[in-house]
Amino acid sequence: MQQNDFGNSYELKTTLNFFKRHWKLITIVAVIAFIVSLVASLMVTPRYKSSAILFPTSSNRLSKAILADRYSLDFMDYGIERDCEYAIQILSSQSMEDDVCHRFNMMEHYGIDNNDPQKYFKLNEAYRSNISVRRTEFLGVEISVLDVDPQWAADIANFMAANYDTLTSRIQQDRSQDAYLIMQDVCKELENDIRALEDTLRKDKNRFGVAELISNKTKELAELQTRMSQTKVDMSRPVSYKFWLDQASPADKKAYPKRAVIVLLGTFGTLILLIVLLLLTDRLGKLKVEE
């Protein structure tokens, strides 16, 4: 026990002697590091953060929710985890980035030279470093924008939330139009088949199975026409695919930089590096004396 106390006392004495020898240098470097870090933090352009939060709606077709038998689906349903992931993918897509950059002239806003051969790479890097999309704890989607102009940041976040409906509608309508054209062709084929079978039945009323075949094809045609009507609703009626929770508003306090953090990290980082260098210097000096 006494041996441990002696060891601790010796280490404390060695540490105190170390700081006694170098306190002037440590103090000077600490002051210089503090001033340099403070000046550096003041030179960083402040940026403001604005966020918009939305809840994606269910990805079920609106026509199916409204026109289906007994209203089997609720078009007011919030989206599930899958719908949230779909929303994040659309909001993070290249199509969204292109729309934002075009709408807000981000090339000029970020100070990127139009003649720079790497302008699109630099634009993408600036965009991705200032705009982020993430899922919230309760399956909402948060759009966050950092910018030197607080109003600009809020406008971008709100535009992205609004443009989410535009991009989603474009996808749904393109898909619905393809399906509608296919069903239209099938309906024409069924109508031709029914007319041919009716002609056959008029010529020979005792023809076995023709009447039943006409009935089956007529039912199939009616079902397909109902689905076409539902698909036409999806094609022609623009709807919102989100519930607004919070719209973005201009921030009145900067989010970056945290000057106190920069000053503390700069000062203490410099001091730690200095102390390590001094310890190595002292160690090398002792080794030379021993030799």
Q: Examine the domain organization and report whether 109 and 138 are in the same domain.
A: yes
* Predicted confidence band of residue 217 (pLDDT cuts 50, 70, 90): confident
Examine the domain organization and report whether 132 and 228 are in the same domain.
yes
pLDDT at 256 over 50: yes
Helix (H) / strand (E) element for 216: namely helix 210-236
Answer for the pair 126, 133: CB distance below 8 angstroms, yes or no: no
Taken as a whole, the chain contains a residue count of: 291
Residues 39 and 141 in one domain: no
Q: pLDDT, tens digit, for every residue of 90-107? A: 999 999 999 999 999 999
Radius of gyration of the chain (CA): 35
Nearest C-alpha neighbor of 151 from the set 250, 254, 53, 51: 250
Distance between CA atoms of 159 and 258, rounded to whole angstroms?
28
Residues 139, 200, single domain; the answer is yes
One domain, residues 27 and 60: no
Q: Could you tell me if 139 and 81 are in contact, meaning their C-beta atoms sit under 8 angstroms apart?
A: yes
Mean pLDDT across 19-29: 83
* 32 and 161 fall within a common domain: no
- Which pLDDT band holds residue 71 (cuts at 50, 70, 90)? very low
Point out the least confidently predicted range of 37-46, 69-78, 118-127, 243-252: 69-78
Residue 30 sits in which domain range? Answer: 1-44+257-291
Q: Are residues 125 and 226 in the same domain?
A: yes
Tokens of residue 205, six digits? 């009323």
At 237, is the pLDDT very low, low, confident or very high (cuts 50, 70, 90)?
A: low
Q: Is 45 helix (H, G, I), strand (E, B) or coil?
A: coil
Mean pLDDT over residues 120-147, rounded? Answer: 92
CB half-sphere exposure, 265, CA atoms < 13 A: 8
pLDDT value at 6 more than 50: no
Q: Check whether residue 94 and residue 222 sit in a common domain.
A: yes
For 147, the 3-state DSSP assignment is strand
Would you say residue 7 has pLDDT above 80? no
The predicted structure's pLDDT at residue 62: 54
99 contacts 154 by C-beta, under 8 angstroms: no
Task: Please count the structural domains in the chain.
Answer: 2
